[in-house]
Amino acid sequence: MKYVSTRGGLTPTEFSDILLEGLAPDGGLSMPSILPRIDSATLEVWRRLSYAELATEILSLFISDIPKSDIRALCEKTYNSANFNSEEIVPLKKINDKITLVGLSEGPTLAFKDMAMQFLGNIFEYVLAKRNTSLNILGATSGDTGSAAEYALRGKKGVQVFMLSPYGRMSDFQRAQMFSLADQNIHNLSVKGVFDDCQDIVKVLANDLAFKEKYHLGAVNSINFARIVAQVVYYFWAWLRATKDGAQRISITVPTGNFGNILAGHIARQMGLPIKRLVLATNENNVLEEFFRTGIYRPRGAEQTYKTSSPSMDISKASNFERFVYDLMHQDGAKVKALWDELADKGYFDLSEEKHRFEPEFGFLSGTSNHQDRLNTIKAVYEESGIIIDPHTADGVKVALENLHEGVPMLVLETALPLKFADTIKEAIGVELALPEHLSELMELPQHLTVMDNDVAQVRAYLQAHIQADDK
């Protein structure tokens, strides 16, 4: 399996190279040159597999430069009951006859990002050891990516993590979870801005190829395709658990901010997984919902990005959206580059002429949710089933209920456990959520962070001060 760039400027490259590279040298994102196809007979064989076994089979289709036996060992090291609070790893939880949750929050940071990040931590360490080199991860987070990355990479040999987060824009629990880590290889940089500002800084530094090479910069955000392919696994797992035969199709609703989680579903569908519809759910920052409704992509600036009660989706520039546009443009890198040049020049681009393809060809529908919707949905689900869902998952359930189709089971991807957003849960149903015993002291631990302005130069200077550069 070789990888190319969405903007056409990358010589076909092996998986381990794009793993360490992050953003492609031409500013684009890596994608497989050809997606593997899965037939119904293979799907039936996969029904018998554990999660680690299924991950081995799927990941080995995308990773041709690492022996399958080593991939199996990495998957077994990752997907086990020591790391995840469920023997199944990803349990399915039925809310009612219409909606089933896909439980993606059983990992150490209680969010779906653990599903990919725990694997990334192990494969980073494996590849770096094989190459006898080091890597400095530069990332941006709206809340859950940062903690998942830091918990996966803390103490790993050859890796330092520099994580940018928007100052004052995460929940108290998210801040405590990230900033309480005292490991020497973890650096939390709290930027006075919104998530998109953090993401823009990461992209500027990643596009400075001389700086990137000198300081061995890599990425752990979903701009790294390794994140995406690890997420593809749970779409197959969910379908295998929700169906009885290969003829049955399902629909899946995905709460979406940076488009990475639903992109994994798009890839699974393109591989042949019987998904009828992929329903995109946004909060008040509905740039993506607007695109799928109108065909116009118009990201918003920081002043127009709302602070909401589903903060991990407070994103107006979705990095992974470029990968979908690449498929929409028939994988023509020159067209994608032209669109992003137009975006930089005009602030938007118009693909409304392609709108007729969104659902019939790709299965995409979309919807949006607001704070009151969130509260109403959390309350309704709790009263009906006794299940408490987090605000992001509530956005998903609300939009899922608007897009049900007779005879097609609807799954909703759970994004986090509700205790990460205790204030909103209390507002919705009046319940005070207690921290589990192993996290009971988390909120009282000292926090380690560096606050800085929304300034590339400040971040650059911090990296220079804390990384031993390669001056060769």
Sign (positive/negative) of CA torsion 397, 401, 403, 404?
positive
Cα–Cα distance, 279 to 253 (Å, whole number): 4
**Which residues form the catalytic set?**
113
Q: Give the 3-state secondary structure of 304-340.
A: HCCCCCCHHHCCCCCCCHHHHHHHHCCCCHHHHHHHH
Cα–Cα distance, 263 to 403 (Å, whole number): 19
Sign (positive/negative) of CA torsion 223, 249, 57, 54?
positive
* 3-class state of residue 408 by DSSP: strand
DSSP state of 281: E
| Separation in Å, CA 219 to CA 34, 59, 149, 195, 385 | 23, 19, 10, 16, 40
Q: Angle at which helices 371-385 and 391-401 pack, to 10 degrees? A: 80
Residues whose CB is less than 8 angstroms from the CB of residue 361 and which lie 6 or more positions away in sequence, other chains included: none
Tokens of 224: 């790294």
DSSP state of 435: P
Residues whose CB is less than 8 angstroms from the CB of residue 243 and which lie 6 or more positions away in sequence, other chains included: 250, 274, 409
Tokens of 43: 């799907």
Whether the CB-CB separation of 378 and 428 falls below 8 Å is answered with yes
Cα–Cα distance, 450 to 460 (Å, whole number): 13
Q: Using alpha carbons only, what angle is made at residue 175 by residues 217 and 394, rounded to the nearest 5 degrees?
A: 105
Tell me which H or E stretch contains 159: strand 159-166
352-374 as b/e: b if 16+ CB within 10 A? eeeeeebeeebbbbbbbbbbebb
Half-sphere exposure of 258 (CA within 13 A, CB side): 24
